[in-house]
Structure 1
Amino acid sequence: MGYLFELFASCCTKTPDAPAVDVPGRVHTYRDLMDRVEALGAVLADGGVRPGARVGVAPLRGAEMYAVVAALSRQGCAVVPFYDGKEGDDRDRLRRLGVETLVVHSGEDTVVERIDGALTGAHVPEGCAYVIGTSGSTAIPKNVPISDANLRAFAEHFQSLGVSGEGDRLAQNYTTTFDGFFLMLVLAWTAGACLVLPARRENLLVDTFVRERGITVWNSVPSHLRMARRLGHLAEGSMPGVRVCVLAGEPLLPDLVTAWRTAAANSSVVNLYGPSEVTIGSNTHTIEAGEPLRLVDGRIPIGPVFPSVESMLVPHGDDGEGVELFELCLRGRQRLTGYADPADNAGRFYAGDSDPLAPTEVTAPDEHSWYRSGDLVSRSELGLVHRGRRTREVKLLGRRVDLANVERVLGQDPRVEAAHAFVDGDVVIAAVEGKQGDGTGIDTSALRDYARPAEVVWVAAMPTLPNGKTDVLALEAAVRASLTSGA
């Protein structure tokens, strides 16, 4: 029996008649969901799903997805979410992971299909809860196996923060292939709370969705709220019933927090940070309702690491303004044991006894090894502060340019809601989202001349991946095409 089913079964015992999943037109209780889990046991067995197997799961409609996850966890199976209908790369990915069976929709039924050509050799630990693919917005996705023990360590601490409780109604805004989906299962099933699923695109109209569906806990990537603000759906005083807002997956900007607090004055805001490799999240910084927004150099901190996580800070110079930077390295009960493809471990782990001033890389991590997040942080009295990605520092004409800092400067213009900077040839190019207004240029005098964007392209909206994050590759391609065409 997996950890997710353990949580779910506890809710079914304690509060069987409490709402578990609210879909448009129907509310499913925990008892209803358990009845479906029982029925799915026979479907899985008849389809050849073996206990402990890795099973591909397509996006399923409504409450069915949650019943399938619980049923698979009951059998100790690893859930491997995938995009249905992609016969190319995604099916190849499943085969490389040793997946032999898929749970998919067929007409109105949930069925099990066989997949031919499953390979051996993937590193998936015993007692694996799920295997998630990293977003792949800027690199080839890696498969991240998260064990029941990893998930338990995360859940035990996160639930202690009081984010969700019995009777809460949680906005489920995450796709199954993003680990935010599993965050939502933890929040609901550790508390006996209800997951509220939106109708198609209903959740883009955030304040309307929240009011009409009785949401008390909001969860999303920051980009989701940015879109809602553009659509005029973060109206002042429009969401008094929300008590907690959890934002994760992207850097959180102060102006977005201010806009949220104007709309939901009774809500605390939790800035959740953490790589998928360390199970959903490793740090939080909470801004309580009514509390002043405390910033560090204009940034919202990510806070201290969880008790189930240890950190090592590897010096990385300074930011050019005298702030000392470190690469954040993590280990502990939440850290994965290694990527599913062992080749992906290269360059991502340091030996457990490493000196931070001269760390030693390892390609076969053990329980003491440090995972290299690739994120740069600084210290503050409010905990750690995220300062960008190590991989976002580039050399131009022999000089170091921090693209994250370029974006920060662009974002100080009140017209700019989001910015993305990248290198094209030997110059910096930037895309900005917002209202161009009178068409005057953005003040970039705070940047050194070689770091100032040669072109700033205004876009109507940043393209997004299915998980809600910015699709960086699509954005850069569109900007390059517009510059080439002269549009």
Structure 2
Amino acid sequence: MTSRTISTEAIWAGFSRSCEQFPYRPAVAAGREVTYFELGERAKSLAVTIQTRLQGDGIPLTGVFAYRSETAYAAVLGALMAGHGYVPLNRTFPVDRTRLMLERSMCRSLIVDAGSEPQLAGLLEGLETPLLLLLPDRHSVTDLAMNFPRHRFLGSEELSPAEEWRPVDVSPDSNAYLLFTSGSTGQPKGVMVSHANVLHYVAYVMSRYGFTSNDRLSQTFDMTFDLSVHDMFVAWHCGACLCCPTQKQLIKPGDFINEARLTAWFSVPSTAVFMRRFGVLKPGMYPELRLSLFCGEALPVEIVRDWRLAAPNSIIENIYGPTELTIACTAYHWDDLSSPKECEQGLVPIGEPFEGMEAVVLDEDLRPVTDGSPG
């Protein structure tokens, strides 16, 4: 797939190294700043609980029913450190859709945060597969165990100690995560992505953008959007801080950029369109940004011009890629002099393939087209 060496380690290994190198630096800012040591201890406790309490064979996947919280990030890492892939579930989705995603994933364990717990009864309604449910934000789960006897519930007091965790061997080809896209029919379609694919992506963007432990990265994407994987694992690989805005803060992203002291921004272009409309792309507003990435939608030239003025010290790149190709696979670097002439119909190009990849334009019969032909 690429000439770049692909590591055979699991995607949580970079986080583990950062825990050793930067134990008291912030790993996540989600309501409060959580250090690498704190987040690592929480993740290990969840991981060893899954390892020791989950009985029988089955698909090694753990659902994460948590949203923009400290527990959500501990859950992602906990699932991975247990040797599982994680399946993000979103409480802002209709509960019937979330239940369908949970059923199709065939998860046997589920981690739930306090904010998502009110939907738990609806999620479990009619669910026949027995689940191990971990509720680390709750002490007693007696009432839940009585109401849903088919499932096993563990609260914070019943989680295993972090020091009992032991790493397990994980194949680089095993699932790191399972995401559900809308699919052509509107029904959730599962896309599985391996550890090796994520590690390849992280290694490439680390080299391309020069992330360090001094960076503070945005997390504008929900975990059910694969671009969130970039934010999490790039940050944790280099010991940086992942800054997650609340839903309220997302309404004022300009304030969030400065309050969180961000150095790297990543969002869909429509967020920047929204900011421009409300007058928060004025010259010099975001001097601390050194990198701005956009993905997921067409990027208008006028937005880039205004963003360039608002963040005068920032590199701007437009990246592109379907979920199946692991986050992104092409990138376009904006240049104030040459880029305006390279844009078509007021939109920024999606750029060139990442190192070791090729892009081919095909016709409706999946045959390569000649240069300049539509496809």
TM-score category (smaller protein): 0.7 to 0.9
More helix by share: 2
Q: How far apart in 2 are the matches of 1:72 and 1:46?
A: 13
Report the RMSD for the aligned CA atoms in angstroms.
3.2
Supply the AA of the counterpart residue of 1:91.
R
The residue aligned with 1:40 is 46
Moved over 6 A (4+): 49-52, 377-380
Between 1:39-48 and 1:52-61, the stretch displaced more is 39-48
The answer to whether the aligner puts 1:314 opposite 2:320 as a matched pair is no
Assess if the C-alpha contact under 8 Å between 1:2 and 1:77 holds in 2.
no
Q: How far apart in 1 are the matches of 2:246 and 2:64?
A: 21
- Spell out the pairing of 1:337-376 with structure 2 (5 A cutoff): 356=368
Q: Unpaired segments of 5 or more residues in structure 2?
A: 1-7, 131-171
Instruction: Tell me the number of residue pairs that the alignment of Structure 1 and Structure 2 aligns.
Output: 318
Assess if the C-alpha contact under 8 Å between 1:4 and 1:70 holds in 2.
no
The residue aligned with 2:196 is 149
Q: How far apart in 2 are the matches of 1:254 and 1:91?
A: 40
- Spell out the pairing of 1:3-14 with structure 2 (5 A cutoff): 3-14=10-21
Assess if the C-alpha contact under 8 Å between 2:212 and 2:239 holds in 1.
yes
More strand by share: 1
Could you list the per-position Cα deviations for residues 22-55 of structure 1 after superposition, in whole angstroms to 9, with x for gaps in the alignment? 133x211111111112222344346527796111
The answer to whether the aligner puts 1:99 opposite 2:145 as a matched pair is no
- Spell out the pairing of 1:79-478 with structure 2 (5 A cutoff): 79-84=86-91, 86-105=94-113, 116-117=128-129, 127-135=174-182, 139-162=186-209, 164-287=211-334, 293-294=339-340, 295-297=342-344, 298-315=346-363, 356=368
Displacement after TM superposition at 1:276 (Å): 0.5
What TM-score results when the alignment is normalised by the length of structure 1? Answer: 0.59
What TM-score results when the alignment is normalised by the length of structure 2? Answer: 0.75
Q: What secondary structure sits across from 2:11 in the alignment? A: helix
Supply the AA of the counterpart residue of 1:213.
A
Supply the AA of the counterpart residue of 1:356.
P
Identical amino acids, percent of aligned pairs: 30
Displacement after TM superposition at 1:237 (Å): 1.1
Displacement after TM superposition at 1:135 (Å): 4.5
Could you list the per-position Cα deviations for residues 436-481 of structure 1 after superposition, in whole angstroms to 9, with x for gaps in the alignment? xxxxxxxxxxxxxxxxxxxxxxxxxxxxxxxxxxxxxxxxxxxxxx
Q: How far apart in 1 are the matches of 2:303 and 2:185?
A: 24
Q: How far apart in 2 are the matches of 1:246 and 1:378?
A: 28
The residue aligned with 1:69 is 76
Supply the AA of the counterpart residue of 1:44.
I
Q: How far apart in 2 are the matches of 1:231 and 1:43?
A: 47
Which structure is larger by alpha-carbon Rg, 1 or 2? 1
Q: What secondary structure sits across from 2:339 in the alignment? A: coil
Between 1 and 2, higher relative CO (CA 8 Å, sep ≥ 6) is seen in 2
Q: How far apart in 2 are the matches of 1:137 and 1:230?
A: 32
Out of 22, 25, 39, the residue aligned to residue 15 of structure 1 is 22
Q: How far apart in 2 are the matches of 1:216 and 1:378?
A: 39
Q: Unpaired segments of 5 or more residues in structure 1?
A: 119-124, 317-346, 358-376, 381-386, 391-487
Q: How far apart in 2 are the matches of 1:137 and 1:205?
A: 33
Assess if the C-alpha contact under 8 Å between 1:163 and 1:244 holds in 2.
no
Q: Structure 1 residues 143 and 107, CA, compared in 2 at 3 Å: closer, same or farther?
A: closer
Q: How far apart in 2 are the matches of 1:101 and 1:314?
A: 41
Displacement after TM superposition at 1:213 (Å): 1.7
